[in-house]
Amino acid sequence: MKGFLQKHSYSMVKMFLNQFATAIFGFVLALAVSYANNTGLRNVTSICAIVFYLFLLYTMTWDIGFADRVSVMSGKQKRNVWTGTLISLCANIPNLICALFITLASLFNVEFFSSVAPFFTGAALLLEGMYTGLLTNSVGGAALNSYWFMYFVITLPAMITCTIAYLAGLYDKKMTTLFNPLYPESDRDPNERKKK
């Protein structure tokens, strides 16, 4: 585990910083749209912020998987299909800590948990700002952000995306050719040059 953390600590920090930047973007969008008092527009802007966030995670984790592919194929490291999930899980530790304290405050009537719950709720909403628009929707007579389990649920899209992206990179599978690097003619596959 120590080796894993040493190898991927930069990626975890970068992933968290990407999340934080996108969260601020999503939070500002939700705040701006709230003045329009338009639920549909609020949901659409929130979904756009979430998709942008997941796209950043996907491209970043695909690159990690592709880099590991080289090491796996050369026999320098063992194939671990859960690497993307673990990186995302570690990057989501601040979110999960917030979710844990919110859950404890909701399920147990303990003064300490009740007193720190507002801080962790605010921190969670800030860290996951891209979900703000969707979390203000009312379900069962209460906003989604009032349900403790939602703070765990909103970490799942990131972990699922990172799992898929890492595997796609590890097996060199691309969803789009939009971001394919253009190699110099001398470095291209001979078969590819013949097609031209």
Kindly report, residue by residue over 29-45, the tens digit of the pLDDT.
888 887 777 888 889 99
pTM summary value = 0.82
Own/partner pairs for 81-86, CB < 8 Å, 24+ apart?
81/166, 81/167, 81/170, 82/163, 83/4, 83/8, 83/166, 83/170, 84/162, 84/163, 84/164, 84/165, 84/166, 84/167, 85/159, 85/162, 85/163, 85/166, 86/4, 86/8
Question: Which is more confidently placed, 183 or 55?
Answer: 55
What pLDDT score was predicted for residue 7? Answer: 82
- Cα–Cα dist 77/2, whole Å: 15
Q: Indicate whether 193 pLDDT > 60.
A: no
Amino acid (one-letter) located at 83:
T
pLDDT average, residue stretch 44-61: 93
What pLDDT score was predicted for residue 84? Answer: 92
159 pLDDT band, cuts 50/70/90, is very high
Highest mean pLDDT among 48-62, 137-151, 162-176: 48-62
> Per-residue pLDDT tens for 107-135?
888 889 889 989 999 899 889 989 988 99
What pLDDT score was predicted for residue 88? Answer: 94
Q: Indicate whether 72 pLDDT > 60.
A: yes
What pLDDT score was predicted for residue 194? Answer: 53
Q: Indicate whether 196 pLDDT > 90.
A: no
Count the Cβ atoms, other than its own, within 10 Å of residue 98. Answer: 23
What pLDDT score was predicted for residue 114? Answer: 86
Chain mean pLDDT for the chain: 86
pLDDT average, residue stretch 68-72: 87
